[in-house]
Structure 1
Amino acid sequence: MVKKLVLLFVLSSFAMTAQKKNDSKSKTYVSRKETYQIKYNLDHWIKSEEPSTNWDAEFHDKYNVVNAYFSEYDYFITDKSLKSTIEEQYKDVGEIKNLKIFKKKINGITVNYFTCDLEYNDYLYKYQGFTCNGKGGSIQIQYGGQAEAIELNQSSIDELNNSISAIIN
């Protein structure tokens, strides 16, 4: 009986150590209005410590070939204005092509997901992301990079998308 208890104690210690290891590989970003959080995997994503003036938070993959941008707005982006809002965001970079917008569920949140292409300096870039309206306005996250980078890192993009959740107050 004592041997079984010791074995049980040792096994539970290993399980607790494994849980601590998994927890140490993730970090949580909380939006400025504290309405959403992103629990991102440190093995796949790095948060920039100095975000640009246009975004609340910026991330890039560990290879630095895919960028992710997150913003929380003080207004709502309507379904009717979504296409023009996206086109406006890219107007200084180039003309977007193949813009597709569709409804999708991510972590129980219904979002307007978009994908598009942009040709710039003879390179094809792909962007994707989503907007959704929440308690305090809209949020948007978008990913961008050369077409090859987006295609090769789609699983990491899906992982970050699925790490976003609403904070219920």
Structure 2
Amino acid sequence: MSKKLILLFFLSCLFAMGQSKNSKLDSYISRKGIYEIKYNPEKWIRTESSDWDVQFHDKYNLVNVYFIEYDYFITDKKLKSTIEDEYKEFGKIKNLKITKKKINDLMVNYFECELDYNDTLYKYQGFVYNGKGGSIQMQFGAQAEAIEQNQNIIDELNNGISIIK
């Protein structure tokens, strides 16, 4: 059974790589000019935001993505409380997990959590990175089913972020 799962994962990765090479990518440059997010406009629609630097949503408007570049650092010690504060107006988050993860050349604090809002389960995931000029945060949010079904395009957008050299 595990060999079949590994084969399926490998084949899906090959398929995803083949698809992304044929697609024309667009890019967003952060307001400080430090970070670039490359994305596929056939999968993601970019909009400006008053609360975040930029927002994206998938073409079905199920998954929302938020990116912000802070003028300060979010320390590892304050990370959990910072994430909890972001969601407190919607309710208490559950199952918050924070792990170190490498995205391109960035070692980030990757988080995943759940929120029961109006009897609907939402899942959020994303990362905080402390780099040149302060911290950045990118987060993905949607109903639990939408996150699970769209994990491949979430990972693709995550892997589109890089530091401009």
Q: CA RMSD of the aligned region, Å?
A: 1.2
Please list the CA deviations of residues 38-61 of structure 1 after superposition, one character each: whole Å capped at 9, or x if unmatched: 01011111101x31x220000001
- Give the TM-score, by structure 2 length: 0.85
Structure 2 residue 123 is the aligned partner of structure 1 residue 126: yes
> What's 1:93 paired with?
90
Distance 2:73 2:22 in 1: 36
The amino acid of 2:143's aligned partner reads Q
Structure 2 residue 36 is the aligned partner of structure 1 residue 43: no
> What's 1:143 paired with?
140
The amino acid of 2:93's aligned partner reads I
Unaligned runs of 5+ in 1: 1-20
> What's 1:34 paired with?
33
Distance 1:83 1:76 in 2: 14
Distance 2:70 2:147 in 1: 26
> What's 1:76 paired with?
73
- Give the TM-score, by structure 1 length: 0.83
1:57 to 47, 54, 57: 54
Query: Larger Rg: 1 or 2?
Result: 1
Distance 1:26 1:64 in 2: 19
Please list the CA deviations of residues 52-82 of structure 1 after superposition, one character each: whole Å capped at 9, or x if unmatched: x220000001111000000000000000000
Unaligned runs of 5+ in 2: 1-20
Percent pairwise identity: 68
Structure 1 residue 31 displacement after superposition:
0.2
Work out the number of aligned pairs and report it.
Answer: 145
